[in-house]
Amino acid sequence: MKCQTDITKGESEKLLIDVNLCGREQEKIMMKRFLKKHGWRYIPGFLFLLISSYITTLAPIALGHAIDYMDMDVALIDQSKVYRQAFYIILIAIGVFITRYIWRYFIIGNSRFLENFLREELFVKLENLPVSFLSKQRSGDLMAYAVNDVGAVRMTFGQVIAMSVSGLSTAVMAIYSMVTKVDPKLTLLALLPVPVAVFVIVKLGGIVRRKFRYVQSLFSELSGEVNETIMGVQVIKSFAKEEERLDEFSDISKTMYDANVNLADTSSLIWPSISVIFGLCYAIGLIVGGHMVLAGKLSLGALVTFNGSLLLVQQPVMSLGRIINMLQRGLASYKRLQVILNQPGIPEKEMEDAQEPVGGDIDIKDLTFRYPETENNALDHISLHLPKGATLGVVGPTGSGKTTLMHLLLKMYPVPEQSVYIGGTDITEIPAKAVREQAGFVPQDGFLFSASVRDNIKFYQPGATDEDMIRAAKLASVHDDIASFPDGYDTQVGERGTHLSGGQKQRIALARALIRNPQLLILDDTLSAVDNHTEQQILTRLSDYYDGKTTVIVSHRLSAVKHAQEIIFIKDGQIAERGTHDQLMAQNGLYAQMYLQQEEGGDCDEKK
C-alpha cells in the first residue's frame, strides 16, 4: 500500500492509509539520507575507539612489570627497567588521550550532526502535516519533541554507542589479558558475580524506562502550561487570575518533581548495587590471588595487573547502568518522535506547481464535510456559484461552519471529490500549493511573527519593494499607524504582535495578504477588531483596487458584507438564506434580525 490519502465525496474524514508501513518507509529513507551524508564518520571513529581500548589495557600490564622489577632484593633491582615501564605508562596515557580525542570527535560529533538533522526533519515534517493533525496537538508537546526528545536520541547515537563499544571492547581485551597474562582460574572465580550485576542493571533499567516516559509526558504538560500562560498573560492579568494559574502550575510542577525524585531514587540504586557486587569480585581476587602469591604460583606484579584489569572490566559494567538509562530514555524519546515523523504528511502531488493557471469561477456543488473523529457534519449540502471577480459575503452564528468553508477553499483539509470546482476543474485535481499561491487568506486572529512590521508584511513576498509594502499598508488603512511607530516599518511587533492593538494586528495581517496581489482574497472575520469607520474605509479601498478579482468576506458584523453581490447565511452547516443585502432584509429572516440587532447595538472602538 502506498503512503497516500484516498478521499471520496461524503467520506472526507476517512484516511485509507497504512500508517505503520509508511512510518517504516519514512524511517528507512530518513536514516539512509543521514548515513549517506555522515555515516562515514563512524568508520574512523570506531577504529580509533578500538585502538584506544587496546592501549588502555596495556597500562595494568606495564604497571605489573614495574612492580615485578621492584619486588626483589635492592641490589638486584634494575632501575632502568623500572624507568622504562614508567615511560611506557606515560606513552600509554598520551596514546589514550590522542585516540580518545579522535574517536570522540567523529562519534560524538556525528551525534551532533544527527541532532541537527532530526530537528530539521522534524521541522519540515511539522510544516507538511495536515491541519487536522496539528490542531489536536499541544504546543508544549511539540516543543518537547524538538528539545528534550531530539536531545535524548542524540545521546543514544553518541554517548550510548561510544560507551557501549568502548566498554565492551575494553572489557573483552582486559579479560583476555587477565586470562593470558595472569591466570584463567583466578579470572573465572573473580568474574563469577558479574552476571548478577548485569541482571540487576537490566532489571532496574526497565523500571527506569517506564518512569522516564512518565516524566517526559509531564514535561510536555508543563511546557504547554508555561506556553499558554505566556500567550494568555494579558487575559490572566485582566481577570486577576495570577494566583489560580500559579496554583495550577505548582500542581503540575510538584507532580513532575515527585516523578523526577522517584526516577532518581530508582536510578540511584544501580551504582551502589554494582559497587557491592564488584567489591565481592575484588575480595575473591585478593583472597585467591593472595594465596597464589604466597604459594609462589603468581607474582605480585601479576596480581597488580589482575586488579588493574579487573578495574577495566568494572568500569564498563558500572557504566552499563548509565548506558541502559540513557538508552531507555533515547528509545522512549525516539518512539515519541515517531508519533510525528511517522504521520502521513500532505501528499507530494499537493505541493507541486500547477500545470495551468488557477483561476476562474468557483462552484460548490452539494458539499458535505465532516471533521475526522466527529459524528456531525460541519457542512451539509452546500451549493453556490461565485463568478470570477465577484464578492461573496458569508455570515452566520459562531460555529455554523463559515471558517470550515474557507479552509476547504484553501484545501487546508481534504476536500470531497466533485464538490468544489475552480475554473471548472475539480479542486481535488489542483495541487494545494497552486491554490494557496493564488489566494490571500487573512484569519481572524491576525497572527504576526516575532519580527519587524516590514518582515511581517513582506512574509509572502520577501522580494517585494518598499513601494509595494506601503501600497498594501495603505490599502489596509494601517500605514498611518505604522508611520507613528518609533521605528516605522522596522518596529518590532513582539511575540505574536503583543506590542500592537488587535486592530493593528489584523490590518498588518491584511496588508501581508494584499502585497502578493492575490486572485482570490479571503477575509475570515478579519476586521472584527476595527471600528466601523475604518472597516468601511478598508472595504471601499479594496473594492476599488480589487475590481475584477474574487473576494470572500466572512464576518459577524453584517456591515462588512452589505456591498457583496451575494450573501449567504450559514446555520448548523447549511445555507439558511442567500441573496443580496436588500433581498435578505426584505425576507425579514435570520439575516435581517441579526442586522437590526447590530444596528441597535451601535459602533465600538478598535479593540486593544
Q: Does residue 282 share a domain with residue 187?
A: yes
Residue 76's pLDDT is 58
Q: Say how many domains are in the chain.
A: 3
Domain assignment present for 508:
yes
Q: Does residue 506 share a domain with residue 424?
A: no
Domain assignment present for 410:
yes
Rounded to whole angstroms, the Cα distance separating 378 from 367 reads 10
Domain assignment present for 13:
no
* Predicted TM-score of the model (pTM): 0.65
Domain assignment present for 293:
yes
Rounded to whole angstroms, the Cα distance separating 177 from 128 reads 55
Mean pLDDT estimate for the chain: 83
Domain assignment present for 565:
yes
Q: Does residue 392 share a domain with residue 479?
A: no
Q: Does residue 212 share a domain with residue 335?
A: yes
Q: Does residue 113 share a domain with residue 35?
A: yes
Q: Does residue 473 share a domain with residue 335?
A: no
Rounded to whole angstroms, the Cα distance separating 533 from 460 reads 28
Q: What is the pLDDT of residues 203-224, one digit of tens each?
A: 877 787 778 778 878 887 887 7
Q: What range does the domain containing 585 cover?
A: 370-438+519-602
Torsion sign over Cα 98, 103, 106, 107: negative
Cβ neighbours for 365, distance < 8 A, ≥ 6 positions apart: 383, 418, 419, 420, 421
Q: Does residue 314 share a domain with residue 206?
A: yes
Contact assessment for residue 63 and residue 70, using Cβ atoms and an 8 Å cutoff = no
- What single string gives the DSSP state of each residue in 192-241? TTHHHHHHHHHHHHHHHHHHHHHHHHHHHHHHHHHHHHHHTHHHHHHTT-
Domain assignment present for 571:
yes
Domain assignment present for 608:
no
Domain assignment present for 222:
yes
First to last CA, the chain: 52
For residue 428, pLDDT beyond 60:
yes
- Res. 72 pLDDT band, cuts 50 70 90: low
Which of 518, 534, 566 is a domain's end point?
518
Residue 18's pLDDT is 36
Which of 487, 518, 549 is a domain's end point?
518
Residue 24's pLDDT is 57
Q: What is the pLDDT of residues 577-602, one digit of tens each?
A: 999 999 999 999 999 999 998 887 65
What CATH number is associated with residue 269? Answer: 1.20.1560.10
Cβ neighbours for 536, distance < 8 A, ≥ 6 positions apart: 559
- What are the phi and psi torsion angles at 338 (to 5°)? -60, -30
- Res. 266 pLDDT band, cuts 50 70 90: confident
> How many residues are present in the chain?
608
Q: Does residue 455 share a domain with residue 328?
A: no
Q: Does residue 190 share a domain with residue 137?
A: yes
Q: What is the pLDDT of residues 134-181, one digit of tens each?
A: 777 776 677 777 777 888 888 888 888 888 899 899 999 999 999 998
Mean pLDDT of 524-550: 82
Q: Does residue 288 share a domain with residue 191?
A: yes
What CATH number is associated with residue 413? Answer: 3.40.50.300
Q: Does residue 231 share a domain with residue 126?
A: yes
Q: Does residue 318 share a domain with residue 296?
A: yes
